Every structure is written in C-alpha cells, then in structure tokens.
Amino acid sequence: MKLLAEEGTQCAGADARPLPSIDFAGAWRERLIADNPKGRLDPEIDRQFWASIADDYDRQIEASGSCKRTLEMIVRWLRPTDTLLDVGAGTGRFTLPLAARVASVTALDDSPDMLRVLAQKIKAQGVSNVKLLYGAMESTPLPPHDVVLAAWSLYRQLDLPATLRRLAASARRLLIIVAGHPYTPPHRPLMEKIWALPPKDAFPAYLYILGVMHQIGLCTEAFVAREMHCHRAKTIESLARRLAPAHASQEEIRCFAALLRPQLQRIGKDYAYVQVGLAGLIVHRREDAIDLDLE
C-alpha cells in the first residue's frame, strides 16, 4: 500500500515532518490486480463469466434472500418522485424491488446476458417503469438521476477515483455504494481443509471505497447491514455442490457434505444452510441537495 505525503501537514516535535496519508486509490488498484487470477479485469472475460452463470445466479440470489436488510436501508433514503440509476444492475435484485418505490429506474449493465434475464423478469412481473441500458459504467454516458446506486459492482474499476467522480456527477441528490464488509462464512474452513485453499483474506472493499471518496473530496456516511443468507436444497449433496468450488469431484462433494451436515437446518422438506453476512453501505449526498431523512 502506497503512502502519500500531505503537503503542509506537520507532526509534533522538533523534527517536524509531513504526515503520510494512505493512498486508498493506489491500494485499491493494487488489490484488484493481485486478486485477478481468472482475468476478469478484462471486460470480455468478465462478460463471458456472467454469460455462463446468468440464469443460475438469478435463481440463487432470489433463493438466498441475501440483500433484504440492504434494501430496507436503501428504501429509507428514497422518495416516490426519485429517478434511480442502478449501475451494474445485473439481473435486477435491486432494480425490481426499488422500482416499486421510485418514479423510474434505469438499469445499466455491461453483461447482455444479465440484462436478458432482467428483461424477462420485467415482462413477467409487468413492470413498466424500468429502462435497460447496456454499457460499461466507466465509459457509457450516464444520464442524470436523482439517485445513483452502485451495488456490488465496482470490482473491475481500476481507476476508482474517475469512476466515482462520474457516478457522483450523475447523482442530483444521492450516490449510494454497496460493497463488501470483511466476513468469513462458517463453511470456509471446511473448504480449506478439503481443497487445500488458502485462508480467506477478508477484503474490506467498502472501507477502501470510503477512503477513495475521501481522497477525491466526496463527503460520505457509512453504514453496515447485517444480512441473512439462506441456501436451500432437497439433498445435502446438492447443497454442498452449490457451495463447493466448480472443479470439485463427486468424492470431494460427498466429503464436504458430511462435514457440512452439522451446520444445516431443516426447513420443511429442504436442507438449509443459513449464514450471516455483512454489507457496507456508503452514502454521498450533494451539498446543494440536503436530504433531511439522513439527518
């Protein structure tokens, strides 16, 4: 992690020197590059990844209920007359529930397959106030909206200051960022044991983003949502397969299922794996558009 010296800032004592400050933008960039073994920083590789899991991803997100508390917090900051830009909308886990709370939503995503699934859901649910926009957040012209939301979608933004400035410039009233809070799920040690995985490095993504926003002069507030994740399946092995690495063999799945069994619950005829996760929320409000609801 690099340090930047802030000119004119002095420490106490006879040998006063400039105090260093953390270069969050540089640290963020270094972290993304280091965590890129599958090459998903490449836009085309990332689109191929989402194309391969779009339908299954949507089913798992719907089933796990993994963003209920986050949605409840976001709704508190919205107004019925708001226009909302959902950046990195995916299959609409935020787009569709929030569309019922605002005047209109523009759903932007760089994956045509994720937007295809979202379009199917819009049609099936008879939603009329959502517009789809295909493109990358770092290059697509962003029309002004009252509220801009970027939920779990900044993972590919190497030049985070530039992207955050673009998003903030498009927000007439609020910019809301949702990103990862350090957390290790209970089944992770089991996976490390079976597949010799390294211990999970809990990356505080929302704190890095908070630091970058401070660096570029965006005043922010930070919140933490405590989420309940529930994965359900008819058999223990099918549940274990859902949580296991994609390359897992059938024998490894059986071993994992046996170790996972004590952590499971029964919900009706299903086996359920319930875990608590954390999400960081960062809110930037325009200085010329004070929101009394946040006071």
Computed over every residue of the chain, the mean pLDDT equals 89
First to last CA, the chain: 34
How many residues in the chain? 295
Q: Which domains are assigned to the chain?
A: 19-182+202-227+276-287 (3.40.50.150)
SS3 of residue 10 by DSSP = strand
Distance of CA 49 to the CA centre of its chain: 16
pLDDT in tens, 29-82: 999 999 887 899 999 999 999 999 898 887 766 555 578 899 999 999 999 999
Report the pLDDT value the prediction gives residue 186, as an integer from 0 to 100.
87
User: Which among 153, 257, 281, 270 is positioned nearest to 207, based on CA atoms?
Assistant: 281
Q: pLDDT for 196-238, tens place per residue? A: 988 767 789 999 999 999 999 999 999 999 988 888 899 999 9
